[in-house]
């Protein structure tokens, strides 16, 4: 491997993480980073590789977000990010890749999302971000402020990872046993379930809100997955459940935990979004 490739490979993981947070798709992020490599390989000598590559990837993401927004307007049912394993990510970066935050960021314009990710997840200054996106410092401050208002203050009750995992373990046990009372006690009154089938498999076309309705949804999903293997893991820095049928992931559910219990269940059934999980698991 020559020096040009070695320099890029030292940046690849960070660039992929940046692109994933902007796009919500790991596959698109990897494709886009490969496009950045092609540009890097043909660019000649670069004085500041890290900054140059961040600028290239950020702007490729902006272009991709504009077309992704059009595609998601015609998406069948709720759109959820592609779930990813985050056990290799630094702990301090995991909050910025949570399913809840990535879903909320769909409210933002491409420019707001880019500024928010660069500032909040990667700690760049407004001056640096302005250089990456060809904006003024004042523009980036305004976009960042607007993004934070749209996302809310972000303050929420967050149990420890151990408490979250125990809660999900209890949920899985109650679901497999058909323990209605147990499930009811674990769900928050205003719990919401999202189901992303992308038109490729049967899934709820709208969010399901309220403890009783979510309870019925969970029991129906358990019946549908009868005989499947269930594995507790971590996806996007949060407790998650992957079910397997015929050796391949069939569903991936990421749980959001609040003060009253489980407040959100986001289930991906779209097989296209489970492909990377399958490849990762096949090599583990």
* pLDDT value of position 92: 54
Domain 1-75 shares a fold with domain 161-282: no
Angstrom CA distances, 78 to 38, 75, 82, 106, 109, stand at: 34, 7, 13, 12, 18
* pLDDT value of position 88: 67
Separation CA 205–CA 271 (nearest Å): 16
Separation CA 248–CA 172 (nearest Å): 19
Q: What is the CATH number of domain 161-282?
A: 3.10.450.50
* pLDDT value of position 3: 79
* pLDDT value of position 213: 97
Structure tokens at 48: 């500041």
Q: What is the CATH number of domain 1-75?
A: 1.10.1740
Question: What pairs with residue 249 in β-bridges?
Answer: 244
Angstrom CA distances, 240 to 1, 15, 143, 231, 243, stand at: 38, 25, 32, 8, 10
pLDDT values of the chain reduced to their tens digit, one per residue, 284 residues? 577 789 999 999 999 999 999 999 999 999 999 999 999 999 888 999 999 999 999 999 999 998 888 788 888 999 999 999 887 666 556 677 888 899 999 999 999 999 999 999 999 999 999 999 999 999 999 999 999 999 986 545 567 888 889 999 999 999 989 899 999 999 999 999 999 999 988 899 999 999 999 999 999 888 887 778 888 999 998 899 999 877 788 899 999 998 889 999 999 999 999 987 877 776 55
Residue with tokens 């893991």, as numbered in its chain:
233
Which of 272, 282, 284, 283 has the alpha carbon at shortest distance from 83? 272
| CA-angle at 84, arms to 48 and 272, nearest 5° | 110
Dihedral of the alpha carbons of 185, 267, 238, 97, in degrees to the nearest 10:
-140
Q: What is the CA radius of gyration of the chain?
A: 20
Q: What is the pTM of this model?
A: 0.89
Domain boundaries, the chain: 1-75, 161-282
Extract long-range pairs of 260-263: CB within 8 Å, 24+ residues apart: 260/188, 260/189, 261/167, 261/185, 261/186, 261/187, 261/188, 261/191, 262/167, 262/168, 262/171, 262/186, 262/187, 262/188, 262/191, 263/188, 263/190, 263/191, 263/192
């Amino acid at each position: 491997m020559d020096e040009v490739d070695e320099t890029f490979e030292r940046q690849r993981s960070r660039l992929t993480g940046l692109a994933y947070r902007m796009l919500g798709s790991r596959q698109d992020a990897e494709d886009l980073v490969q496009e950045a490599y092609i540009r890097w390989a043909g660019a000649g000598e670069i004085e500041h590789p890290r900054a140059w590559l961040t600028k290239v990837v950020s702007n490729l993401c902006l272009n991709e977000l504009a077309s992704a927004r059009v595609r998601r307007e015609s998406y069948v049912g709720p759109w959820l990010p592609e779930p990813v394993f985050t056990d290799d990510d630094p702990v301090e970066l995991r909050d910025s890749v949570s399913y809840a935050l990535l879903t909320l960021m769909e409210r933002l314009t491409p420019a707001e999302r880019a500024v928010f990710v660069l500032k909040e997840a990667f700690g760049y200054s407004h001056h640096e971000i302005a250089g990456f996106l060809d904006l003024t410092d004042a523009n980036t401050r305004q976009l960042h402020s607007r993004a934070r208002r749209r996302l809310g203050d972000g303050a929420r009750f967050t149990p420890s990872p151990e408490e979250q995992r125990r809660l999900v373990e209890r949920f899985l046990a109650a679901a497999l046993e058909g323990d209605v009372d147990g499930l009811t006690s674990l769900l928050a009154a205003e719990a919401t379930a999202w189901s992303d089938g992308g038109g490729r498999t049967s899934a709820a076309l709208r969010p399901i809100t309220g403890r009783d309705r979510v309870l019925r949804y969970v029991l129906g999903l358990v019946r549908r997955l009868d005989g499947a293997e269930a594995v507790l893991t971590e996806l996007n820095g949060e407790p998650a459940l992957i079910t397997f049928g015929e050796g391949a992931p069939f569903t991936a559910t990421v749980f959001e935990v609040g003060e009253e219990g489980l407040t959100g269940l986001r289930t991906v059934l779209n097989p296209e979004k489970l492909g990377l999980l399958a490849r990762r698991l096949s090599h583990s």
